[in-house]
Amino acid sequence: MRAWKLLGLAGILAGVATGAAVARDERVRRHYDAGEIRERLHKRHDEAVARETPTAPGDQG
């Protein structure tokens, strides 16, 4: 019976820790205004496209 109590306590602690992490991330995310988020997304998109664009064999340099 004691094992079940410990397992339940571990589950509760995991839930609390997850909730705290989500709340922290939400506070950080809400710190940006819409313009900053848009700029960051465009920058990340441009970087991703640049990584996926293959270069021609003679273009290294």
Task: Report how far apart, in Å, the C-alpha atoms of 13 and of each of 20, 25, 27, 34, 43 are.
Answer: 11, 18, 21, 35, 38
Predicted model pTM: 0.42
In tens, the pLDDT along 21-54 reads 998 888 777 787 889 889 999 999 999 999 987 7
How many whole angstroms separate alpha carbon 1 and alpha carbon 49?
56
pLDDT of amino acid 48: 93
pLDDT of amino acid 52: 86
pLDDT of amino acid 31: 80
Domain boundary assignment for the chain: 11-50
Predicted confidence (pLDDT) at residue 13 exceeds the cutoff of 90: yes
